[in-house]
C-alpha cells in the first residue's frame, strides 16, 4: 500500500509540474506602461465619481491598486521619476539626476545628445536627443535581451525625456513632440527616417485646427493628451505591437498634466478638465488595446513620476503653513557671504538645481580654496536662512543628523559624478519657486507626501481585482513587471516584487 501511495504522489507531482511549465513561460502579448506627469495619488478618489467607467475606473474597479506607493529618493522630479519607474532603481545607479544636472562639472540636459541628428524635423534643439546619459537597463531593455531583441519596445510622449527614458537604451523607437513644427519626431539614435505610419499621422496632425490655434502652448491644453493617445494607437497599428510571437512593450507618458499643474496648480477648472480629459483618453487607449490586442492579452500599469504641492498662497489663504523658497534670490547673498568669509574673487556656486547646490570645483581649485571648507561655509549660510529644515553635505550624508528615512532618500538620490555637493530640505508646504511655476501654479521636488505619494495601478493579464495599503516604492514597479514576465529585472534594480493578494 505504501508503494501505491508513493506512486500516486509521484504521479500527482509530475502532472502538476507539467501543467505548471506552460504557465511559467506564458506572457502577455503586450505590456503597456503609463506614466502621468505630476499626478497625485489622491486624484484617484477626488475625481472617481466623475471618471467614466472605461478609463481610470476600469483600472481601479477591475485591476489592483497599491494605495501607498512612495518615491524613495530625492529630488522628486520628472526625468528621475520616469527613469526610476522603468529601471527599478534610483539616481545613485541609473544616473539620471534631474531634468538638468552636471556631469563632473559640465551642465547637461538629461537627454541631449549632440552625436545624433533629429529625424522628422530640422529643429536640432528639440531633436538631438537620446538615452545617452541613462546608465542602467529598463524593463524594455530586459525584455529585448530575453527575446534576443525580437520584442519591440516603443516610447511615446509630449516630452522627449518622457518618451526616451522609459523606453530605454535598446528601444526600437521613441517619439516626442516638436512643438514648433507640430510634429512627432525622433532622432538618428533610433532610425534614419520616420516610418510611414508616423509620417501619415504627422500629416493628419499638422492639419489639426485646434493644434494650430494653441501653437507652441499645446502643453497647456488637454489636446496634448489626445494626440499622445492618437500617436500611441498609430504605433500600435503601424508596428503591429502585440501581434508577433514575442511580448512587446508600449511606454506612454502624459505630460500635459505637469505643464497645467505648474501653470494652474492642483485645484481649479483647468486641472479638473485635464484629468477628466485624460480619463477619456485612457478609455480610448484601452478600447484600442481591446480591439487590436484583445482584452486580457495585455498587462498595463499606471503610475506617476512625482506628485505636487498645493499652491502656497492657496494654503496660506486657508491658514496653513506654506510659502516660496527663492533659491536664485538667495544665491547673490550666499556668494557675498562666502567671499566675506574666505576672500575669494570668483563665484563658488555653478548652479542651484532642485534644492541642490552644485559647486564650481574648477573655480574653487583655481583660487587655491579648500573644497570642504567652502562647503562648510555654504552650509553655515544656508542654516541661517528661514524655512530650511535640513542642510546636508552629500559626501557625509550617511552620518548626517537627519531622520533615517530622509537620509536613505538623500543617499539613493546621490550620484557622485552628477548630483552636486549639498542638498537642502525646506519646511513642509514650502517649495522652490522659479520660472517653471506661475504664482497660482505649483511645483514639486521634495520628500513630503504631497510630492512623493503617487498612484500605482495594475490591470489586465493575470491581475486580480484588489488593493493594498502597505508602503511600496516607485522602484518596485520594474521588478514586479519583470517577475510577471518571468524575465530578469533591470541590471541596477533595487526593487521588491509586489504580490497581488
Looking at residue 438, what is its pLDDT?
87
Looking at residue 359, what is its pLDDT?
97
Q: What 3-state DSSP class applies to 77? A: coil
pTM comes to 0.94
Chain-centroid distance of CA 204 in Å reads: 29
Looking at residue 215, what is its pLDDT?
76
List, in sequence order, every residue forming a beta bridge with 106; answer none if it has no partner.
103
- For 5, residues 6+ apart whose C-beta sits below 8 A from its C-beta are none
Q: Which residue has the cell 495601478?
A: 457
Mean per-residue pLDDT pooled into runs of 10, the chain (501 residues):
47 40 77 98 98 97 98 98 98 98 94 98 95 98 98 98 98 95 96 98 91 82 94 98 97 97 94 97 98 97 98 97 92 96 96 96 96 98 97 97 97 97 97 84 97 98 97 98 97 97 84
Q: What 3-state DSSP class applies to 13? A: helix
Q: pLDDT per residue over 54-71, tens digit each?
A: 999 999 999 999 999 999
Half-sphere exposure of 69 (CA within 13 A, CB side): 29
State yes or no: cis peptide before 293, omega within 30 of 0. Answer: no
In the chain, the N- to C-terminal Cα span, in Å, equals: 40
Per the annotation, the verdict on 138 as an active-site residue is no
* φ, ψ dihedrals at 426, nearest 5°: -95, 165
Looking at residue 435, what is its pLDDT?
67
Choose, from 76, 78, 87, 228, the residue flagged as catalytic: 78
Chain-centroid distance of CA 450 in Å reads: 16
Half-sphere exposure of 277 (CA within 13 A, CB side): 21
CA gap 21, 106 in Å, rounded: 51
The closest of 68, 43, 69, 60 to 466, measured between CA atoms, is 60
How many of the other CB atoms lie within 10 Å of CB of 180?
12
CA gap 140, 481 in Å, rounded: 10
Amino acid at each position: 500500500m505504501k508503494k501505491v501511495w508513493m506512486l500516486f504522489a509521484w504521479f500527482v507531482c509530475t502532472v502538476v509540474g507539467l501543467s505548471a511549465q506552460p504557465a511559467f513561460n506564458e506572457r502577455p502579448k503586450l505590456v503597456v506602461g503609463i506614466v502621468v506627469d505630476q499626478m497625485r495619488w489622491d486624484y484617484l478618489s477626488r475625481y472617481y465619481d466623475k471618471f467614466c467607467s472605461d478609463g481610470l475606473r476600469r483600472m481601479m474597479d477591475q485591476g489592483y491598486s497599491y494605495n501607498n506607493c512612495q518615491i524613495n529618493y530625492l529630488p522628486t522630479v520628472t526625468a528621475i521619476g520616469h527613469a526610476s519607474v522603468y529601471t527599478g532603481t534610483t539616481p545613485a545607479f541609473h544616473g539620471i539626476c534631474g531634468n538638468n544636472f552636471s556631469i563632473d562639472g559640465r551642465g547637461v540636459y538629461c537627454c541631449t545628445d549632440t552625436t545624433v541628428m533629429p529625424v522628422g524635423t530640422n529643429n536640432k534643439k528639440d531633436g538631438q536627443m537620446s538615452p545617452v546619459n541613462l546608465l542602467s537597463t529598463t524593463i524594455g531593455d530586459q525584455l529585448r535581451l530575453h527575446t534576443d531583441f525580437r520584442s519591440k519596445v516603443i516610447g511615446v510622449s509630449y516630452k522627449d525625456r518622457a518618451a526616451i527614458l522609459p523606453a530605454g537604451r535598446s528601444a526600437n523607437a521613441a517619439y516626442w513632440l516638436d512643438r514648433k513644427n507640430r510634429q512627432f519626431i525622433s532622432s538618428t539614435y533610433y532610425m534614419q527616417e520616420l516610418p510611414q505610419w508616423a509620417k501619415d499621422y504627422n500629416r493628419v496632425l499638422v492639419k489639426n485646427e485646434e493644434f494650430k490655434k494653441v501653437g507652441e502652448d499645446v502643453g497647456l491644453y488637454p489636446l496634448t493628451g489626445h494626440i499622445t493617445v492618437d500617436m500611441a494607437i498609430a504605433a500600435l497599428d503601424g508596428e503591429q505591437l502585440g501581434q508577433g510571437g514575442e511580448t512587446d512593450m508600449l511606454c506612454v507618458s502624459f505630460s500635459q498634466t505637469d505643464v497645467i499643474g505648474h501653470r494652474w496648480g492642483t485645484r481649479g477648472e483647468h486641472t479638473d478638465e485635464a484629468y477628466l480629459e485624460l480619463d477619456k483618453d485612457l478609455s480610448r487607449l484601452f478600447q484600442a488595446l481591446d480591439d487590436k490586442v484583445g482584452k486580457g492579452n495585455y498587462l498595463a500599469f499606471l503610475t506617476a513620476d512625482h506628485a505636487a504641492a498645493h499652491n502656497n498662497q492657496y494654503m496660506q489663504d486657508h491658514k496653513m503653513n506654506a510659502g516660496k523658497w527663492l533659491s536664485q534670490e538667495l544665491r547673490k547673498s550666499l556668494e557675498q557671504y562666502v567671499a566675506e568669509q574666505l576672500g575669494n574673487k570668483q563665484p563658488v556656486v555653478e548652479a542651484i538645481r532642485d534644492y541642490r547646490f552644485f559647486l564650481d570645483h574648477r573655480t574653487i581649485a583655481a583660487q587655491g580654496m579648500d573644497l570642504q571648507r567652502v562647503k562648510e561655509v555654504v552650509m553655515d549660510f544656508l542654516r541661517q536662512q528661514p524655512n530650511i529644515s535640513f542642510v546636508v553635505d552629500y559626501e557625509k550624508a550617511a552620518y548626517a543628523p537627519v531622520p533615517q528615512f530622509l537620509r536613505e532618500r538623500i543617499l539613493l538620490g546621490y550620484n557622485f559624478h552628477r548630483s552636486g555637493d549639498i542638498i537642502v530640505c525646506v519646511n513642509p508646504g514650502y517649495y522652490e519657486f522659479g520660472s517653471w511655476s506661475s504664482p497660482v501654479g505649483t511645483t514639486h521636488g521634495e520628500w513630503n507626501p504631497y510630492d512623493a505619494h503617487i498612484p500605482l495601478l495594475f490591470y489586465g493579464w493575470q491581475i486580480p481585482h484588489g488593493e493594498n495599503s502597505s508602503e511600496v516604492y516607485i522602484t518596485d514597479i520594474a521588478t514586479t513587471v519583470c517577475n510577471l514576465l518571468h524575465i530578469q529585472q533591470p541590471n541596477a534594480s533595487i526593487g521588491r516584487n509586489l504580490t497581488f493578494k
